[in-house]
Amino acid sequence: MVATNTRDLADSGAFQRVVLKLSGEAFADPETGFGIDASIVARVAEETAAAAEEFEAEIAVVVGGGNIFRGMAGATRGMDRARADYMGMLATVINALALHDAFEAVGQQSRVQTAITMAQVAEPYIPRRAIRHLEKGRIVVFAAGTGNPYFTTDTTAALRAAEIGAGAILKGTHS
């Protein structure tokens, strides 16, 4: 079967479990291109929760951090590249926590899992635990990239999709 629209794709099972990759810029204040616009994050949470319900989909989200800090930009200004990338990973955690809070505000259960251990704010990334959360109807927000410098959050989305058995990766970037 060739899917011709979103409903056909949903009915085909391609959207049973998906990874949604969101750029950090998607959360930014439209005026400045930086920071976090709470109304945008709230809308993302509402629409993602609605899609999970409408399509009966298990949704994991990978967030970028470019609205706060971009590792490559720091490296081009003379920072150590690995250190700059770790700063970018921390920026993704800030965005993940903002999205998690927005999910809670709309009544959608969610969990944040990070590739860098920070037990006070999020669970460590454990693939089997992420799958279990998805099976229970929770949206899982992945943060801190792969936990390794030199890799983008696009790479993280592909890696996490493979690890959790997602049928599709959907990418939302700010233009």
Per-residue pLDDT of the chain (175 residues; tens, 9 = 90+): 445 565 665 566 668 999 999 999 999 999 998 999 999 999 999 999 999 999 999 999 999 999 999 777 766 788 899 999 999 999 999 999 999 999 999 999 999 999 999 999 999 999 999 999 999 999 999 999 999 999 999 999 999 999 999 999 999 876 6
In the prediction, which pLDDT does 1 show?
A: 42
In the prediction, which pLDDT does 7 show?
A: 60
Amino acid type, 131: I
Are 47 and 33 in contact, with CB atoms under 8 Å apart? Answer: no
Are 110 and 48 in contact, with CB atoms under 8 Å apart? Answer: no
Q: In whole angstroms, what is the distance from residue 126 CA to residue 169 CA? A: 19
Amino acid type, 63: V
Are 34 and 68 in contact, with CB atoms under 8 Å apart? Answer: yes
Q: Tell me how many degrees the CA angle 53-59-65 measures, rounded to the nearest 5.
A: 130
In the prediction, which pLDDT does 175 show?
A: 60
* pTM assigned to the model: 0.91
Give the right CATH number for 14-172 from 3.40.50.150, 3.40.50.360, 3.40.1160.10, 3.30.70.1710. 3.40.1160.10
What DSSP designation does 115 have?
Answer: S
Domain boundaries, the chain: 14-172
In the prediction, which pLDDT does 13 show?
A: 66
In the prediction, which pLDDT does 174 show?
A: 67
In the prediction, which pLDDT does 43 show?
A: 98
In the prediction, which pLDDT does 2 show?
A: 43
